[in-house]
A and B are shown apart, each in its own frame.
Chain A
Amino acid sequence: MADPFLSIQHVRKSFGATTVVEDFNLDVERGEFVSFLGPSGCGKTTVLRMVAGFEEPSAGKIVVGGKDITRLKPNQRNVGMVFQAYALFPNLTVAQNIGFGLKVAGMPRADIDARVAEMLDIIKLPQMADRYPYQLSGGQQQRIALARAIAPKPKLLLLDEPLSALDAKVRVSLREEIRSIQKKLGITTIFVTHDQEEALSISDRIAVMYGGKAEQVGTPFEIYNRPATKFVANFVGTLNVLEGKVTDAAAGTVQVNSEQVSLKGKLNGSKSGDTLSLALRPEAISLGRQPGRDSSLSGEISEVHFLGSVIRVRVGIGGNTVSLDTFNSPATPPPAVGEKAEISFSSDDMLVLH
């Protein structure tokens, strides 16, 4: 395998006695779009800021394109960055903002003008060149910030929660636009977010972070369907966690409530009598027995939420509550609270959390 374009190696960051990032490792390929996903305080922004050069690692190194940039100043790294708060220069027009990095680099005026026009076309705001930031909406400002970041053709693009300050509709359209521009330019990108939907929808890979460490690095499909830890399983998507007891480790059977579920090959060294945390995604569960689903559990419907196209049903099973989604059908009335219900699922979809 070729050397990674960006390599974050054993990076640690402490502020006084508090360690914010612990032994963080990540390799990113050229042109890849990698998201750092995690709750507030997990260290994702600190890692990004170390890549940008705003924080110096307490240990470890950061290599970009084969060059160690760990101790370089931010203005020596040729890295572009988009900030959550836009950070456009209020005294400069849109064109001057986009051309700022080019002017600093000493590019001739004509080349700057051409590049600015090209950037404005890419972000589909060609008519905005002479406006000031205060004359733009939040979404427009963030697109200008993106254009400003990529105008000097940086080696690496860093996006620090760029969509957090925008309303829901703009967020969705802008994230698609960011991804499309990133693919078009082939620029290696790190995207920091705490929004799992954002991360899942636009990333080539996701690093789920918790407590200053990468809990799991993988494609959105792997992260969602094969979470490596309990934290990842809980943080990404909605998850039903059931307690189960291993009844026969050799046969791979686990007792959930009073029913047996076969989890052959998933018990990973568990012994008979061990208690396990088992997880099921709501979309992996059906109400009633369905063909192709080898396991079932009985309970009572405790809540029904009508969400339009989907009905979310909560079923009490022993001491656990399981959420599942069913599509709304005008011909079928939603189930009623208090009804006895059976849920079915494929044991292949059940995750054992470690």
Chain B
Amino acid sequence: MKTGRFWAWVVFGLGAAYFFIPLIATVEFSMRMRRGVYSFDAYQIVLGDPRFQATFGYSVLAALFTIILGVLIVVPAAYWIRLRLPQLRPIVEFITLLPLVIPAIVIVFGYIRMYGSNSPLPFLASDRGTDLLLVIGYATLALPYMYRAVDTGLRTIDVRTLTEAAQILGAGWGTIVTRVILPNVLIAVLSGAFLTFAIVIGEFTMASLLNRPAFGPYLQNIGANRAYEPAALAIIAFAITWGCMSLIQILSRFAPKSANRPN
């Protein structure tokens, strides 16, 4: 028994070292900008760079719109499939997995061909149109995560009976979705939202090919031309991702508990 515990700790230690040593090395390197002493100069430069603020702000805004679009598409779709079209679930699951299989570069070239300035839907003819197309593209990229998160949330509640209980009490579809279904899968939706956020913040291909001032191309540009700042940026991006994950954990404590498993 004691031997088993010893080896468990060894494996845990190796795993932790695998994850933390590169991270610690990056932190250490990012703080060596000033010769001979550790400093946060690289962080100050990065955070003080107007391009950082502009691109990060742009990407945060794009992430928010992507989340809104994703929730508006995925929640009603996943709900309706669970309620009325369960036979379509395998097909929809396959479709939502496609963005994992089809590279973003293929999707974005498709967009450029479909929505160029000479097409019937010329999204690319204006900046706002291109922004909109970028958000749509991001929503597509985030679809596998958002759909799975919401579907898993819906699996934890008795969708059909709750819907019927609300209907018989006089509720219409809007009330049912907003006051019964959404609050009960809110944590799942938030999980999907934070995953979407993490994807959008670091996304490079689409933003670069659509020529939008997003955080991903800025990261790439800094990485190619500077020494210490990319390490500081990597740590900042990492902190943002971890912050998102921590928020999921904190919010999941407030999830409505299932009434079907009392005490």
Q: Report A's interface with B, CB cutoff 8 A.
A: 52-54, 73-75, 77-81, 83, 85-91, 100-101, 104-105, 132-138, 141, 148-149, 152
Contact = CB atoms under 8 A, between A and B. Distances in A.
Contact of B170 (A52, A88, A89, A101): A101
Given A88-B165, A91-B183, 13 more contacts: A77-B168, A80-B169, A83-B164, A87-B158, A91-B184, A101-B169, A105-B170, A132-B259, A134-B263, A136-B262, A141-B259, A141-B262, A148-B165
A48 B259 CA distance: 24
A321 B162 CA distance: 49
25 contacts: A53-B167, A53-B168, A54-B164, A54-B167, A73-B167, A74-B168, A75-B170, A78-B170, A80-B168, A85-B260, A86-B259, A87-B158, A88-B259, A89-B184, A90-B258, A91-B184, A101-B170, A104-B175, A133-B259, A134-B261, A141-B259, A148-B169, A149-B169, A152-B169, A152-B170
Nearest to A80: B168
Contacts of B262: 133-138, 141
Contact of A83 (B157, B165, B256, B261): B165
A47 B166 CA distance: 20
B171 interface: yes
A133 B157 CA distance: 13
Nearest to B169: A101
A86 B170 contact: no
Interface of B is mostly: loop
Contacts of B261: 134
B103 interface: no
A219 to B, nearest CB: 29
A135 B263 contact: yes
A203 B117 CA distance: 73
B151 to A, nearest CB: 18
Nearest to A49: B164
Contacts of B259: 86, 88, 90, 132-134, 136, 141
Contacts of B167: 53-54, 73-75
B113 interface: no
B168 A79 contact: yes
What 6 A-B pairs come out closest when comparing CB atoms?
A133-B259, A101-B169, A87-B165, A134-B257, A91-B256, A90-B256
Contacts, number: 91
Interface residues of B, number: 25
A162 to B, nearest CB: 12
A55 to B, nearest CB: 11
B172 interface: yes
B171 A104 contact: yes
A132 B256 contact: yes
Nearest to A101: B169
Contacts of A54: 164, 167
A141 B180 CA distance: 17
Contacts of A83: 161, 164-165
Contacts of A105: 170
Q: Identify the interface centre among A75, A90, A101, A104: most chain B CB within 10 Å of its CB.
A: A90
A149 B165 CA distance: 9
Interface in B210-263: 256-263
Contacts of B169: 75, 80, 100-101, 104, 148-149, 152
Contacts of B162: 87, 89
A72 B158 CA distance: 24
A100 B158 CA distance: 18
A75 B164 contact: no
Given A135-B262, A141-B259, A90 B164 contact: no
A149 B170 CA distance: 11
A170 to B, nearest CB: 12
B263 to A, nearest CB: 7
A75 B172 contact: yes
Contacts of B260: 85-86
Contacts of A52: 164, 168
B171 A75 contact: yes
Interface string B179-198: 01001100000000000000
Interface in B134-169: 157-158, 161-162, 164-169
Contacts of B263: 134-135, 137
Contacts of A87: 158, 161-162, 164-165
A95 B175 CA distance: 18
